[in-house]
Amino acid sequence: MMTKGKFGLSLAAIAVIAFGFAALRQPQSVLLVVGFALLAERDEWLNRQAMQALLLTITYYLAELVTGWIFGGLARFFGWVELYGAAGAMGKVGSFVGDALYLALIIFSVLAVLRILRGKDAGLPFISKMAGGDFTAAVKSKTRAAASAQTVPPAQAAPVGAQYAPPEQPLAPIQTVPVMVQAAPAPAVRLCPACSAPLQDDSRFCTECGAKTE
């Protein structure tokens, strides 16, 4: 890969230099190369390679620090209890683990350099995913989804000088009460006092028996 950056330098050469400093255990130099790549060149491919070199260096020093604490602490503990043989064994195991970690650092750096010289990504296991920002992108997408779900659209502001009008309320249906009309009582029918025959209103004698009604 002979692509040149903004300053005429080969991007592959810059990435190789970053992994070279990582293999030589020069974290300050690695950090300087990464800063140059991110702030000056600003090339996406170069940024990935430089970040992988930086993450590889950080991983190595963290692993060395943890193993030093473990085996160094065990060696001091066995020394306190006067088990000097076990203390010496822990010291040797810690030294062996440190050498193995440094050997792994060199191997990963060489593999990364070989891939870069072929114009490919360094492709370090797990570290390449972190350098590519997969975890950061996933976190940002979840954050945006949660924010959009909680966002409430703002209320529309009323124009300046407009009078407030309360919202219209639906009118309640008018209930009609049925009015009961009471029928007038039927007029009483006159009956003959003698034979109980019906009489006319103005009759003075019964038409049936001839008796006087008044």
- Has residue 185 got a pLDDT over 60? no
- Domain spans, the chain: 11-136
Q: Which of 164, 171, 173, 212 is nearest to 192 (CA)?
A: 212
**Integer Cα distance of 96 and 196 in angstroms:** 142
pLDDT band, very low/low/confident/very high, at 139 (cuts 50, 70, 90): very low
- Orientation of helix 11-23 relative to helix 44-80, angle to 10°: 0
**Integer Cα distance of 127 and 206 in angstroms:** 131
Tokens 């943890």 -> residue: 66
Distances, alpha carbon 123 to alpha carbons 50, 132, 152, in Å:
12, 10, 43
Retrieve residue 100's tokens: 């193995």
* 26 backbone dihedrals φ, ψ, rounded to 5°: -120, 80
Retrieve residue 188's tokens: 């009483």
Residue range 5-56, pLDDT digits in tens: 888 889 999 999 999 999 999 999 999 999 999 999 899 999 999 999 999 9
- Has residue 68 got a pLDDT over 70? yes
pTM: 0.59
Retrieve residue 74's tokens: 């065990």
pLDDT value of position 61: 96
CB-CB neighbours of 89 under 10 Å: 15
pLDDT value of position 173: 60
**Integer Cα distance of 85 and 110 in angstroms:** 38
Mean per-residue pLDDT of the chain: 79
